[in-house]
Structure 1
Amino acid sequence: MNSRTATSKGPLIVQRRVVKAALAAAALVVTAGCSSGGSGGGPPGDGLAPSSSGPVTGSASAGRSTETAAPARGSVKVVRTVTEGLKSPWGLAPLPEGGLLVSSRDEGTITRVDEKTGRTTELGQVPGVAPAGEGGLLGIALSPAYASDHMVYAYFTTASDNRIVRMLYDAKKPPGEQLGAPDTIFKGIPKGMIHNGGRIAFGPDGMLYAGAGETGTRGLAQDKKALGGKILRMTPDGDPAPGNPFVGSVVYSYGHRNVQGLAWDDRQRLWASEFGQDTWDELNQIKPGDNYGWPVVEGRSDDPKYHNPVAQWHTDDASPSGIAYAEGSLWMAGLKGERLWRVPLEGTRAAAAPQSFLKGRYGRLRTVVPAGGNKLWLVTSETDGRGSPGKGDDRILELEVK
């Protein structure tokens, strides 16, 4: 297929430094959204109550923010550490035959983790990855036809751009040689030292969605002909998907700063998490063709031409990366916030104020993925250059939610 460029802590957990004092619910701190790190540690098997501090929330159409206390709604239990010793893990893709594929941002490798034993096997290195800053080998996803084609898709930064490739995964070959040559399906997504986006996921419609950051060049986000600051939607071959809002374009929504979380709820509605600059991180419900405001608006506004977030957080408390849907809620991994947020849903709005779990216990949290039923896989991110890695970092955790 021709390339296309668009034109329009196992079982041992080490206790880290003392967690920052809890913030008062009515006085949350405002700081920069491109997060620097922190740390934490805690024993596996902890049943943890939510933290007392919470974000500002409200309906997607609300013009002004209101702050509400999060009611008690159960717990999150860390069942076990699946594996540890991972280096700059970023994307996670569960295999239908068993096992977890995890990408390393800085090493440019994809590794298979046996979710029962924790044993790791390196599939191989993705050629052309040029890690620097927030760029490198980022999101991975399995083909919708994986059972027959065994294709793994990856979003990564090269010397010139961000691009999406697909590779044949052949487990019968020796370790280190199990990835086929990359077939570039889409290229030309702008790159930068920051804000490369990078999350990819196949939707219920079989189309491939990608979060593309604005690379720190803010004007890209409002330019509908540019690829930066967008959510992109394309066919598995990299063509503009049927039904896209802008004819002949892969652009699905715009006005984004740096989307790193994509997930669908049980009604097949798309949600996305987004890093703010200095004030508000966002959880958005995505509508095709809508403008999400950046850089004109950060968080909610009274201007009806911008789609307001369903929930927003001060950047110290979130700096969100991956999101997942499970048990009626969206789960959002926080980097600088060093916690896992739960947002219970009622239609296209938050049913109650979000609540947080695991605050400071495992450090920066990068990716969260459904593990079936009431289970989640959670990937830490202490070795990404902004954390304070301890023994065993980074790790994949298995969580049970109630």
Structure 2
Amino acid sequence: MIVQRRAVTAVLATAALLLTAGCSSDDGDPSGADASTSPSNTAAQSPPSGSAAEETPPAKGSVEVVRTVTTGLQSPWGLAPLPGGDLLVSSRDEATVTRVDEKTGKKTELGEVPGVSPAGEGGLLGIALSPDYASDRMVYAYFTSASDNRIVRMRYDEKRPAGEQLGAPDTVFRGIPKGVVHNGGRIAFGPDKMLYAGTGESGDTGLSQDKESLGGKILRMTPDGDPAPGNPFPDSAVYSYGHRNVQGLAWDDEQRLFAAEFGQDTWDELNAIKPGDNYGWPEAEGESDGSEFHDPLAQWSTDEASPSGIAHAEGSVWMAGLRGERLWRVPLKGTEAAADPQAFLEGEYGRLRTVVPAGGDKLWLMTSDTDGRGDAKESDDRILELRVT
């Protein structure tokens, strides 16, 4: 077993300090200067020898790019499909929410979210629709304010003029630590209709092991922002801890939760989430010999992944890589990897930020080349429709 033990590091106040210290920030150094810190062994870790997964390996997967849905998005981050098929997209730096016509690609700005303070990796990040969207028309958003990271909800009124269709934000949850880096930001409603949020430790590694802190956690709450019934710690929204920076959340067909997490400069992780478990950071990065830590089901060197969004489809978790510039497939057998992960689209579309199910064997995949770290082309950023097996 590959072991990576890490001592608690000093608080990192800025992204520049991270880079000079040789640590990769979540999305990687735009100049690529920190790539030399990655280990030479870049293979994703496979199941133990002799496992049942090896005896009956699943068929190799495939990815087909069906079409480009739209282009010209600026610093897109969150992606939420509407019931009729269109897509809502958040812009990290512009703090706007835009509706994309799924058939024509036409973009209509719904409005700007007030109170967003974009800087570094912070800004308007994840978005999600209320589980009762058909009746309440509520859009939830996770963003960085001047003082913290918080979650708000806004009513979407299509009858109002374009640019004025988002109602005033109602703050659902506040007080998540903010930083120049490691702001987390992914939100999603689970099969239980509870709201889940992936947070980062904001560069202060000590927060991850502190169960009283909201940083470096997966949070679970009611749609109104109260700690969800059945959470592992009394009167707390904390669902799991010991995370560095969680930006991917997805459930399989058995309602099991998986999460993607940025490593520092050794291992990125895909984890199967168990309520109350400790995922190791900063004491462990990747697999560990410490029985008190929950090991990842798969891990990658940071130059191969730097994962943001994940989705479940066709029996696999699909993971979007920023610095890795590829889409990973991790076939599952329960909460374990059933075979070696496979990489697709390597280097073809640049940095990949968000992937969400589009029904059946389809996925929506959104790029992230206009966020200041990618090599933006004239048509970036874009949303692609994929067919996967």
Asked if the contact 2:325/2:346 (under 8 Å) is kept, the reply is yes
Structure 2 distance, partners of 1:319, 1:57, is: 18
Counterpart AA for 1:87:
Q
**Any conservation in 2 of the 1:38–1:360 contact (CA below 8 Å)?**
no
For residue 56 of structure 1, what is the aligned residue in structure 2?
A: 45
Q: 2:335 aligns with which of 341, 348, 372?
A: 348
1:317 is matched by which residue type in structure 2? E
Secondary structure at 2:135 match in 1: helix
Q: Is the 8 A contact 2:58 2:331 kept in 1?
A: no
Shift of 1:97: 2.0
The one-letter amino acid paired with 2:46 is T
Q: Say if 1:349 and 1:36 are closer, same or farther in 2 by CA, change over 3 A.
A: same
Could you say which residue in structure 2 is the equivalent of 1:395? 382
- 1:115-130 correspondence to structure 2 within 5 Å: 115-130=102-117
Runs of 4+ in 1 over 6 A off after TM superposition: none
SS at match of 1:148: helix
Displacement of 1:33 in angstroms is: 5.4
Deviation sequence 1:123-149 (CA, Å, 0-9, x none): 000000000000000000000000000
1:138 is aligned to 2:125? yes
SS at 1:147 equivalent:
helix
Pairs aligned (count): 352
**Contact 1:111 1:121 survives alignment (8 Å):** yes
1:37, 1:358 → 2: CA distance? 20
Q: What is aligned with 2:359?
A: 372
CA contact (8 A) 2:227 2:235 kept: yes
TM-score (norm 1): 0.85
- Provide the residue aligned with 1:111 in structure 2: 98
How many angstroms does 1:293 deviate by? 0.2
| 1:306-345 to 2 correspondences below 5 Å | 306-345=293-332
Which of 210, 214, 221 is the equivalent residue of 2:201? Answer: 214
Q: 2: CA distance between counterparts of 1:283 and 1:91?
A: 19
Match of 1:42 in 2: none
Q: How far apart are the structure 2 equivalents of 1:364 and 1:400?
A: 19
Instruction: Provide the TM-score with structure 2 as the length reference.
Output: 0.88
- Tell whether 2:229 aligns with 1:237: no
Instruction: Name stretches of at least 5 consecutive residues in structure 1 with no aligned partner.
Output: 1-29, 40-52, 63-69
Partner of 1:98: 85
Q: Which residue of 1 aligns with 2:72?
A: 85
Note the residue ranges of structure 2 that are not aligned, 5 or more in a row. 1-21, 33-41, 52-56
One-letter amino acid matched to 2:242: G
* Post-superposition CA distance 1:309-340 (Å, at most 9, x none): 00000000000000000000000000000000
Aligned to 1:36: 29
Q: Offset of 1:75 from its aligned partner?
A: 1.6
Considering only aligned residues, what root-mean-square deviation do their CA atoms show, in Å? Answer: 1.8
2:142 to 134, 147, 155: 155
Please tell me whether the aligned partners of residues 316 and 336 of structure 1 are also in contact (alpha carbons under 8 angstroms).
yes
Report Cα offsets for 1:152-194 as digits up to 9, x if no partner: 0000000000000000001111100000000001101010000
Q: 1:33 to 1:194 in 2, by over 3 A?
A: closer
Contact 2:45 2:299 in 1 (8 A): yes
Question: What SS does structure 2 have at the residue aligned with 1:57?
Answer: coil
Alignment of 1:264-303 (within 5 A): 264-303=251-290
Q: Is the 8 A contact 1:55 1:353 kept in 2?
A: yes
Rounded to whole Å, the distance in 2 between the matches of 1:296 and 1:201 is 28
Matched-pair contact (CA < 8 Å) for 2:101–2:107: yes
Matched to 1:156, the amino acid is: F
User: Which one-letter code corresponds to 1:55 in the other structure?
Assistant: A
| Paired position in structure 2 for 1:188 | 175
Residues 22-55 of structure 1: CA distance to partner in whole angstroms, max 9, x if unpaired?
A: xxxxxxxx9835313589xxxxxxxxxxxxx841
Name the % identity. 75
8 A Cα contact 2:25 2:181, kept in partner? no
Counterpart residue identity of residue 315, structure 1: T
Higher RCO (CA-CA < 8 Å; seq separation 6+): 1
> Do the aligned partners of 1:32 and 1:279 also contact (CA within 8 Å) in 2?
no
Task: Name which of structure 1's ranges 73-82 and 206-215 shifts more when overlaid on structure 2.
Answer: 73-82
